[in-house]
Amino acid sequence: MRRAIFLDRDNTIIHNDGHLGDPDAVHLMDGVADALVRMREAGFDLIVVTNQSGVARGLFTEDDVKAVHRSIDDSIAQATGRDDIILGWYYSPWHPEAVIQAYKGDHPTRKPEPGMLTQAAEDHDIDLKSSWMVGDQERDVEAGMAAGCRSIRLANDKTGTRAELRCPTLTEATDHILMESTAQ
């Protein structure tokens, strides 16, 4: 079985101050490209798991979400010279208060539920117990924990978290994960 680092998308990999459905608005967070390369070189598969309720809210379409993901892949490839960084993209377009009825309701893939992580684990033969979830929201931590992963929350403040660790950036989270993985 393989080990993975599951990553939230918005404000973990890319800047996003709202609902991002425009691929031209993609901007990688500082240090992300280097952190992703270091994770891959350490033998981790990288899988993005992201709630995209903007679809349910009628702000953009699933095709827009996929276009944003292609733009992120392109930005990462341009920054790293590699096109093998992200193994998979998983997103949940559902929301309990959706305006588009087809996407209304609670869904097992919507974080904090672990559905995206468990589906990715099944699709890619991932050992969840030797994997990590990294994100900027408590729902990311909760999804990781529910799936059996270790979790890191990206936060600069003293916000309470159930995560194993709080780090200000993906770079620091990467440092911790790689230190832990070499110590085992």
Residues with catalytic roles:
8, 10
Q: Is the peptide bond before 93 cis (omega within 30 degrees of 0)?
A: no
Using CA atoms, how far residue 86 sits from 27, 45, 80, 98, in Å, is 16, 7, 12, 29
Question: Three-state SS for 23?
Answer: helix
Cα–Cα distance measured from residue 46 to residue 7, given in angstroms and rounded to the nearest whole number? 7
